[in-house]
Structure 1
């Protein structure tokens, strides 16, 4: 017999500080997990959802102290995969507004697209008492380094504004194939997102794409490789990987835009993932406006491969 799920009773939810400022539709989707989005919008349009006794549009932003009436809703029964608690994360900075995690490589920042869970789900599992934990930005699964998580909605809103206005300084270290010659170079190439015939997300340089700006600085160079610092002035998907590959300098170990025969050789030499690390963040604290400057050294696997290069490759000073 098919399981039709369970029907919830009428609920009355008091909006706390963590949910203040959130749109009512997003609030309901988080509250009613397992309910299709179309149904959430139907109960909003029909007026079955009330705030402080009155009807509201789906764009209404909640205020602290609001009372939300949620009508009975049937929720599909399904077994959610258990999120493992995992090893506690390396927390580089924390206060009551935000925290910064030094994300390990190989872990997605959130579940979805075939990934049952990510860093944010594990972090919530590790901190069941936390009322609000939301990603401020993202890192690719194979990228390690600094990632900001908001602990208050007010902090999330301000940090999103800073990101959009380019006021968060994000710097990465990467190893690329080839001899990068310029001490500093600006790359301003528009980036266009598309899907492959297999349905995979990709990005390419295209004049119809969105503006993108990377500042590349040379840190060290060998005969076959260069160690670069890349400052992101915009935050487009795969920006560093596509900008550098387009210039003929693919990232070592990049399985989407890289030099695939070289990647196999690098694996034999000990580099088993993409060489990209978010090493530095500078931003204004979202609530106090104090300057925050954080850094995370290269993880052992990347630092170890650089040590191999120093022993096997001739340093290029020219």
Structure 2
């Protein structure tokens, strides 16, 4: 949606008036970092507008309600693997994926073994009780084998593969980036992690000059393409996790199919979603 400012006001009041919503809801919308003023991402609710400014707001989709049953991609006696939708947090909230699983399985002991960012989709693993959780966490360095992500980034990569060793918050962080495909504006990457720092992939790709499409924190704030402005979330997907069960040493390989929105954006950018297994 595009609006033209016809009087001096602030962003919160303007959106409240145009969308006929409360000022609190207007502020919540601005806080999502999806509002653009003259092609610049703005998240300050009292931002002053001038006559002639152009405001753009996407039709934001909240998919916090989803088909949990069909999102369960792995289960054994110890863990549950879920293909997490974007816009849902992993734990520590009554609307979290962890809580949805507790209700679905009637099991209040279910606990997330690792977290994904709210806007990241893909493979997310949960323990069925606290004993299992503690065992996985205590032995994580020994049982963790491989974690693969897929990302769509700004700019055309000038490499086929690269390894990034750059500390995050004073801790070692290692990211291996493989180029799947590229065009003159974007790159499609497969990424392997050997460490798991907060926002690791997003930070490393941004520092490298290839911020993730839709990243509202580490990506560019001035965008002219409607596709870039209205990409609903960061285009990062937890594609595959390979671990060893500490109770029986069985290998567990969990692969999360691409979400519909991720595949659709790939196609719009000119990439074939089937290429994700090509590297």
Please give the TM-score of this superposition, normalised by the length of structure 2. 0.69
1:109 paired to 2:90: yes
CA shift in 2, pair 1:135/1:91, >3 Å? same
Structure 2 counterpart of 1:227, from 188, 192, 206: 188
Structure 1 distance, partners of 2:188, 2:80, is 29
Does the aligned pair in 2 maintain the 1:214–1:234 contact within 8 Å?
yes
Greater RCO (CA < 8 Å, at least 6 residues apart):
2
Displacement of 1:95 in angstroms is 1.2
| Structure 1 residues not aligned, in runs of 5+ | 1-83, 193-208, 312-318
The answer to whether the Cα contact below 8 Å between 1:168 and 1:282 also exists between their aligned partners in 2 is: yes
Displacement after TM superposition at 1:152 (Å) = 3.1
The equivalent position to 2:263 in structure 1, one of 303, 306, 310, is 303
Matched position secondary structure for 2:270: helix
2:124 to 120, 124, 147: 147
Matched, 1:184 2:161: yes
Q: Is the counterpart of residue 167 in structure 1 residue 164 in structure 2?
A: no
Structure-1-length-normalised TM-score: 0.61
Of residues 81, 97, 113, the one that matches 1:100 is 81
Closer, same or farther in 2 for the Cα pair 1:134/1:191, shift >3 Å?
same
Q: 3-state DSSP class of the match of 1:124?
A: helix
Q: CA deviation at 1:132?
A: 2.0
Q: Distance in 2 between matches of 1:99 and 1:210?
A: 29
1:1-318 correspondence to structure 2 within 5 Å = 87-89=67-69, 90-111=71-92, 116-128=94-106, 130=107, 132-165=109-142, 167-192=144-169, 209-262=170-223, 265-267=226-228, 271-310=231-270
Q: Is the 8 A contact 1:220 1:227 kept in 2?
A: yes
Matches of 2:74 and 2:131, distance apart in 1: 18
Deviation per CA, 1:120-170, whole angstroms, max 9, x where unpaired? 112112222x25201100000000000010013332223213434572411
The answer (yes or no) to whether the contact 2:89–2:97 under 8 Å persists in 1 is yes
Q: What is the CA distance between 1:259 and its match in structure 2?
A: 1.3
Distance 1:251 1:215, change over 3 A: same
Shift of 1:184: 1.7
155-164 vs 285-294, greater mean Cα deviation? 155-164
Distance 1:86 1:280 in 2: 21
SS in structure 1 of the partner of residue 264 of structure 2: helix
> Aligned partners of 1:265, 1:123: CA distance in 2, in Å?
36
Structure 1 residue 222 displacement after superposition: 0.8
User: CA separation in 2, counterparts of 1:229 and 1:294?
Assistant: 16
**RMSD after superposition:** 2.2
1: distance between equivalents of 2:224 and 2:109? 40
Q: Secondary structure at the match of 1:234?
A: coil
